[in-house]
A and B are shown apart, each in its own frame.
Chain A
């Protein structure tokens, strides 16, 4: 466990943790879902669980774009890139994500032209510099990243760069929350809303969670104090029997979001009727596709895409972990067949995935402790 004085504002952290203990009813159990993988990472990195009373449970949500991407989409993207003179460009997070015939990095080792880019606009630049090649940008991410892809496509069209296309895997956060709430085994009391997604979409789209589902939601920043403060705000709402959307991350998130970013998304993208999420299955209207006006830059229109479907091994219980029914360590494969080095399920794939974060910070800590104390189990 981290000592409180290791934090940047130890007194404030202590006061906030005390307030949480004061507000939490010892007679009840609270289950709060942090939707965003960035929050999950912070919670484990700072050992925030140790500062909370045992009756407050943090459940890790679906907000890790790499984790929820079905393996078949990786296979599809790589199969396009197997065609002659195609450069496969993607963010670094994607490079080690396994497809059925290996990750992009393994394809690179076998001769595919695979490039890491840090921005969609750098993928477009690659196309400008390689006019005899076709650059395929493998786009992933929630609403934080989708506007950048949209603007890049608008630039490609305006400049008439035709040796560039996007294989679009952008997803939207609201339908994923809805799927979790609709699930019959759903057991979440309230939500810690995503910080950076909300810089784009604002706070208004969460209204139905409070109004229709009766669940409080607080959009939060990523510092330990932000997360603890958002828990205070959730507890206050629950104690006062209120259900509303609140914004703890006002310093970055405007209530109305970023209109310019939303405009770019609306210009380029439309909702897919349905899309598969690894661990959650098919969710209707949960992902973006490229509009017809930009079809020339849509890899799914320009190339034939096999439409591969790969089911996760039955033993992997990613869906249950995503919905908060199971903790990562309760999955049968956790830490055995499924580790960050050899991920079997979705949530072990990226450092923002709840299983990978749990493994990196909690599981190793527990293993070290067992070694130190010589305890056997």
Chain B
């Protein structure tokens, strides 16, 4: 439940300002930016994603650290499964 996965914003969607295409572990998914409206991220920013929603903006260095940590704790597979699940229903 505490899984937070870093992703890089590739494109802000014109049709819905709260949605962005985000590259997460090499998979592109739509992620909801609606919880970051006070400090909206833009293309190229890294965000920490939890259950399909961006929770916070983070630096690229911290994002890469977080990715390495997911590998270290053996959670990459779970994270990938979660990411691939976004938008699949």
Task: Report the bound CA distance from A261 to B32 in whole Å.
Answer: 12
Task: Report the bound CA distance from A243 to B56 in whole Å.
Answer: 28
Within 47-67 of A, Cβ neighbours of B (below 8 Å) are at 63-66
A196:B55 contact, CB within 8 angstroms:
yes
Closest to B3 in A: A38
B38 interface residue, CB < 8 Å from A? yes
A30 interface residue, CB < 8 Å from B? no
> A118 touches which one: B34, B51, B66, B69 (CB < 8 A)?
B51
Given A42-B73, A122-B86, A223-B65, are A352 and B51 also a contact pair (CB < 8 Å)? no
Give the B interface residue count (CB, 8 A): 35
Closest to B71 in A: A8
A258:B56 contact, CB within 8 angstroms:
yes
Given A119-B51, A123-B89, A196-B55, are A66 and B69 also a contact pair (CB < 8 Å)? no
Task: Report the bound CA distance from A272 to B14 in whole Å.
Answer: 39
Query: A42, A63, A64, A65: which has the most chain B beta carbons within 10 Å?
Result: A42
A365 interface residue, CB < 8 Å from B? no
Interface size class of A (residues with CB under 8 A): 35 or more
> B2 touches which one: A118, A123, A196, A200 (CB < 8 A)?
A196
B72:A260 contact, CB within 8 angstroms:
no
A133 interface residue, CB < 8 Å from B? no
Within 55-82 of B, Cβ neighbours of A (below 8 Å) are at 55-56, 58-59, 62, 65-66, 68-69, 72-74, 81-82
> B32 touches which one: A38, A144, A151 (CB < 8 A)?
A151
B89:A261 contact, CB within 8 angstroms:
no
A151:B35 contact, CB within 8 angstroms:
yes
Given A252-B48, A258-B36, A264-B35, are A125 and B87 also a contact pair (CB < 8 Å)? yes
A147 interface residue, CB < 8 Å from B? yes
A279 to chain B, nearest CB (A): 16
Given A118-B86, A122-B87, A260-B37, are A8 and B52 also a contact pair (CB < 8 Å)? no
Given A145-B51, A148-B35, A260-B35, are A118 and B74 also a contact pair (CB < 8 Å)? no
Query: A36, A115, A145: which has the most chain B beta carbons within 10 Å?
Result: A145
* Interface, chain A (partner B; CB < 8 A): 8, 36-38, 41-42, 45-46, 63-66, 89, 91-93, 115-123, 125-126, 129, 140-142, 144-145, 147-148, 151, 194-196, 199-200, 222-223, 251-254, 258-261, 264, 350, 352
